[in-house]
Amino acid sequence: MAIIEPAAPTRARRHRVLLPGLAVTALLLGAMAGSLAVGSARIPFAEVRDILLSRIMPTGAAPYWKPGIEAIVWDLRLPRILLAALVGAGLGMVGAAMQSATRNPLADPYLLGVAAGAVLGANLAILHVGDILGPATTPLFAFAGALGATLVVLSIARLTGSTTADRLILSGVAVSFVVTACANLLILFADQRSAANVTFWTLGGFGAADWSVLPAPAVALAAGGAWFLAKRRDLNALAMGDETATTLGVRVARARLLHMTAGAFITGVMVSVSGMIGFVGLMTPHLVRMVVGGDNRLVLPASALVGALFLVLADIVSRTIIAPDDLPVGVVTGVVGGLFFVLMLRNRAGG
């Protein structure tokens, strides 16, 4: 009856985690490198490599490539790829954190109305306010919108006397509808040209990326990631249930509010630089948990890594599938994510 216990379960686990971790990192770097070469203009890998090297460690050697090619690699594609990775990492991590904080594996910034709030804020900034606060206007408005929507969702859940995780999702969906309607109203009242721009932006994409766009999402990812990792034990406890978390010394309502606010902050910034990109936050934590288990010490960084990989790949698809035109990335992730969702339902029914 008694089974001989493995000598060191933690060490076995570390191996189980280390290998996929290295593999995903290698895949991510490979995808980013590949992404630099593909697109409406194909550029040989060697040339991409030499352009990067000459930029990072200038040797003074005369370039053998056309300045146009260098501009495509360095000024267009590289910031775009980095942005895709940053946004994917941010959304993947926020998804993992929000799923734990609401104890609902279906939670993500989109279902909880956070992203809709961010879009509303961003629409307001782009269409009606202008850059009154400088270049940070749109991210700040998006954050404010995301935070506002989060607070509304939380207070609805509270007012209706249902702080349970399921009700939280339902009120998130409800708020999402209302907020999206308001965002659409803003588009209706804006002038035709910018309305078309905003609509395209809302669909999600990295076409507008340049180097100046990157600091905001990088800071948001670093700050948010540090916060969530520091609070990983609280997140684990919340995922085990509100009462259990209470018995473990977590102030549940306060902790949830803080984590949702942090999630709104990251989501707001990511939406403001890339529009609505759904399913990353929902999907990646699921895939990750299948491999590493439920502990957020591993789930958070792994979700960031897999989210980054997913969006870099999605961006390659979006740039090549109808080249020379861009397909909005949100369309790609929507299709992939929807299919994934159906598969998940099937597996759950089967299991």
Partner 1 sequence: MQTGSGAGPEKPDVALSLEATDLAWGPPGRAPLISGVSFALTPGDRLAIVGPNGAGKSTLLRCLYRLHRPLAGAVRVGGTDLWSLAPRLAARKIAAVLQEAPGDFAFTVQEMVDAGRTPHAGGIAGRAAGARAVAAAMRRMEVSHLAGRAFSTLSGGEKQRALIARALAQEPGVLVLDEPTNHLDIRHRLEAVELLRGLAMTIVTTLHDLDMAADVASKVLVLRAGRQMAFGPVSGTLQPALIRQSFDVEAEIAPRGPSLRFDYRLPERRADSSAESSE
Interface positions with partner 1 (CB under 8 A)? 2-6, 9-10, 12-13, 99-100, 103, 105, 233-234, 236-237, 239-244, 246-251, 289-290, 293-295
- For the bound state, the minimum distance from the C-beta of residue 134 to partner 1, rounded and expressed in Å, comes to 39
Cβ proximity to partner 1, 243 vs 325, nearer residue: 243
Cβ proximity to partner 1, 218 vs 257, nearer residue: 257
Cβ proximity to partner 1, 191 vs 243, nearer residue: 243
Cβ proximity to partner 1, 14 vs 128, nearer residue: 14
Residues whose CB falls within 8 Å of the CB of residue 63, separated by 6 or more in sequence, listed in order: 50, 51, 54, 70
Cβ proximity to partner 1, 96 vs 183, nearer residue: 96
CA-CA distances (angstroms) from residue 55 to 46, 48, 49, 73, 213? 14, 11, 10, 11, 19
Cβ proximity to partner 1, 251 vs 346, nearer residue: 251
Q: Which two tokens stand for residue 102?
A: 């609401």
End-to-end CA, the chain: 26
- For the bound state, the minimum distance from the C-beta of residue 69 to partner 1, rounded and expressed in Å, comes to 47
- For the bound state, the minimum distance from the C-beta of residue 206 to partner 1, rounded and expressed in Å, comes to 31
**How far apart are the C-alpha atoms of 203 and 198, rounded to whole Å?**
9
- For the bound state, the minimum distance from the C-beta of residue 100 to partner 1, rounded and expressed in Å, comes to 7
- For the bound state, the minimum distance from the C-beta of residue 47 to partner 1, rounded and expressed in Å, comes to 45
Residues whose CB falls within 8 Å of the CB of residue 65, separated by 6 or more in sequence, listed in order: 47, 50, 51
Cβ proximity to partner 1, 40 vs 347, nearer residue: 347
- For the bound state, the minimum distance from the C-beta of residue 159 to partner 1, rounded and expressed in Å, comes to 13
**How far apart are the C-alpha atoms of 119 and 143, rounded to whole Å?**
9
CA-CA distances (angstroms) from residue 280 to 18, 93, 326? 23, 9, 19
| CB-CB contact of 28 with 309 (8 Å) | yes
Cβ proximity to partner 1, 49 vs 233, nearer residue: 233
Cβ proximity to partner 1, 321 vs 345, nearer residue: 345
Residue linked to tokens 């700040």: 140
**How far apart are the C-alpha atoms of 13 and 166, rounded to whole Å?**
32
Query: In terms of DSSP H, where are the helices of 240-279?
Result: 242-247, 252-274
- For the bound state, the minimum distance from the C-beta of residue 242 to partner 1, rounded and expressed in Å, comes to 8
- For the bound state, the minimum distance from the C-beta of residue 107 to partner 1, rounded and expressed in Å, comes to 11
- For the bound state, the minimum distance from the C-beta of residue 229 to partner 1, rounded and expressed in Å, comes to 12
String of DSSP letters for 168-202: HHHHHHHHHHHHHHHHHHHHHTS-HHHHHHHHHHH
CA-CA distances (angstroms) from residue 154 to 159, 181, 271? 9, 20, 21
Residue 328's SS3 state is: coil
Query: In terms of DSSP H, where are the helices of 38-77?
Result: 45-56, 67-71
